[in-house]
Every structure is written in C-alpha cells, then in structure tokens.
C-alpha cells in the first residue's frame, strides 16, 4: 500500500482554456485528467472564471476544478498579473498536496505564470504546447521571448501534440530537440464508426446531376483553416453547380464564410 501511494501523483492542470469553453485544448485537458484519474492519480484543474462559473466545481470521477476570479482580456486568455495570484496558487497546491503542475497552451497567461510559481514551490513542472505560432509579427515575437524564458528555466518537461508542433516549439523557445517529447493528438476511432448498412455510403450515380452536399463541422477560427476554406468553396461552387455546402460551427471567422454565402446561395452556416 505504501509503495502504491508513493507512485501516486497529485497533478494540478493549469490553463485559461477549460470547460464551459469548448475547444481542442479544453477537451485535451479533460480527457487527460480522466485517464490519469483512472490510473489512480489525483487531478485538479485550475482555470479562470467563466461568467457565473466561479469557485470550486466537481466533474466526472471527482475531477475538481478551481474557477479563479481572473479577468480574460483576449480570446479567453486572462490578464497578466505575475505575482498577483501566487498566494492563491500556493494555497491550492498545499491544499491538494500537489506533486506536479502541468500547464497547457503557450498563450495561456495563467499556465505560464503557474509554471514560474510552481518551480519556486518545488514542484515538478510539465508544459504542453498545442498550437503553431509565427516568428515575424510583434505578438509572436513577444510570446516567443516569454516562452523561451519560462520553458528554459522553470519547466522539467515539454510536450507537443505533433512533430510539426515540436519543431515549431523548439525554434521558438530555443530548446534542445531532445528535451521536447511528442504525444500526438488522435481520434478515438471506437467513438466514430461508419454506418456499414447497404447503401449507407454510396457515391451518386450521376455526380454531375445529383445533388452533392458537403458538410463542414469545426470551430470557425484561423487555426482550423477557415481562411483557406473561404477561398476554396467559391471555386467549388462555380465549378460544380450541383454542390451544396452546409457549415456547422461558430467563431471569429464565421462572418468570413457568411460573406461567401451571400454570393453563393448554396453555402449556408446553419449552426452556432
């Protein structure tokens, strides 16, 4: 029993991005937490408040979430405070008897600040980067400088979700490639099984005459390739008059697709 307890970790997941907001990072943190809990580890999540979602909440399998009174100012990233919430993080780590802190996403102010504070508290620190960033614009340059300072001094392990992301993070943070691990994001194929009944999946007999419906389901943001989609769909509609496009999702790029839909009545944004 003592050996089993010694192997158990108490992990504090920290990010500005978590439920009730929805996206890849949010789902990643939730699913990873559930897997760690299933293996016998203790996991808590620390994020900023979302409207009335404030204080301590409990999710599936006893996953505890701390929604802190932090003010988001850009795309759900909270306003920087550096030392402003160090005492609160320390209290959470002591209460939960944390042994490890795991920060998520490079432009999460909460995660980067937590990595700095956790190192001073003597915790092991792991950081997962989820997105690709550039090198030329002012915002990317500033973020890369911060990332280099945090990952180079206060983090014991770095994880990326793809090999391309790993190369990007290595260049941005000036890290040795051997210090960055890759745990690829993946789709659980057991949750997405096709309908194999006869005629369920069939190409139209006359592809030039019968209606073909293209369905796009995703968050309408730059990282999902919506700018490219807005250029491709008009060409498809002009070349194939029997094609109809349905777009389901929401995000800052929704208006861009709606402008395309004004020109081509066969393109419709149907869901939010």
Task: Give the residue extent of every domain in the chain.
Answer: 2-182, 194-271
Structural element, H or E, at residue 158: strand 157-160
Measured CA to CA, the distance from residue 210 to residue 33 in angstroms comes to 47
**In this predicted structure, what is the pLDDT of residue 1?**
44
How many CB atoms lie under 10 A from the CB of residue 7? 10
Cβ density class 159-172: b for 16+ within 10 Å, e for less: bbbeeebbebbbeb
pLDDT of residue 194: 73
The per-residue pLDDT for 34 is: 96
Q: Which tokens go with 215?
A: 């369905």
**Three-state secondary-structure class, residue 124:** strand
Fold for the domain defined by 194-271: Rossmann fold (3.40.50)
Specify the pLDDT at position 126.
96
Q: How far apart are CA 9 and CA 85, in angstroms?
A: 24
* pLDDT (tens digit per residue) in 112-147: 999 999 988 999 999 999 988 888 888 888 889 999
* pLDDT at residue 5, rounded to an integer: 53
Element (H, E) at 126: strand 124-129
Contact residues for 25 (Cβ-Cβ < 8 A; gap 6+): 15, 17, 104, 105, 130
Residue 240, judged by CB atoms within 10 A of its CB (0-12, 13-18, 19+), counts as middle
Residue 36 tokens read as 């760690």
pLDDT at 20: 92
Whether 194-271 and 2-182 are alike in CATH topology: the answer is: yes
What beta strand segments (E) does 171-253 contain?
180-182, 212-217, 243-248
Q: What is the pLDDT of residue 208?
A: 66
DSSP H helices in 121-174: 138-153, 163-173
H-run or E-run covering 55: strand 55-58
pLDDT < 70 regions, the chain: 1-6, 199-208, 270-272
Contact 97, 10 (CB under 8 A): yes
Per CATH, which fold does 2-182 belong to? Rossmann fold (3.40.50)
Please report the pLDDT score of residue 28 as a whole number: 93
H or E stretch at 5: helix 2-7
Q: Cis peptide leading into 249, omega within 30 of 0?
A: no
Which of these, 257, 248, 249, lies nearest to 226 by C-alpha position?
257
Of 211, 130, 143, 207, the residue nearest 172 (C-alpha): 143
The Cα–Cα gap between 53 and 2 comes to: 38
């Amino acid at each position: 029993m003592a050996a089993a307890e010694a192997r158990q970790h108490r992990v504090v997941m920290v990010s500005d991005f978590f439920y009730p907001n929805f996206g890849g990072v949010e789902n990643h943190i939730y699913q990873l937490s559930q897997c760690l809990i299933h293996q016998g580890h203790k996991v808590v999540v620390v994020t900023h408040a979302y409207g009335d979602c404030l204080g301590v909440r409990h999710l599936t399998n006893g996953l505890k979430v701390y929604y802190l009174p932090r003010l988001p100012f850009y795309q759900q990233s909270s306003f920087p405070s550096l030392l402003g919430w160090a005492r609160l993080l320390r209290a959470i780590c002591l209460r939960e008897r944390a042994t490890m802190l795991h920060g998520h996403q490079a432009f999460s102010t909460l995660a980067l600040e937590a990595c700095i504070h956790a190192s001073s508290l003597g915790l092991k620190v792991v950081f997962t980067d989820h997105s690709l960033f550039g090198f030329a614009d002012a915002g990317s340059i500033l973020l890369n400088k911060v990332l280099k300072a945090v990952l180079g001094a206060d983090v014991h392990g770095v994880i990326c979700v793809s090999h391309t992301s790993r190369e990007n993070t290595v260049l941005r943070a000036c890290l040795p490639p051997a210090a960055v691990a890759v745990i690829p994001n993946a789709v659980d194929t057991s949750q997405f099984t096709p309908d194999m009944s006869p005629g369920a999946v069939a190409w139209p007999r006359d592809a030039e005459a019968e209606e073909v419906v293209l369905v796009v389901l995703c968050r309408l943001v730059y990282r999902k390739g919506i700018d490219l989609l807005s250029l491709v769909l008009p060409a498809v509609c002009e070349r194939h008059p029997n094609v109809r496009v349905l777009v389901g999702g929401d995000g800052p790029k929704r208006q861009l697709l709606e402008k395309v839909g004004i020109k081509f009545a066969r393109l419709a944004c149907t869901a939010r």
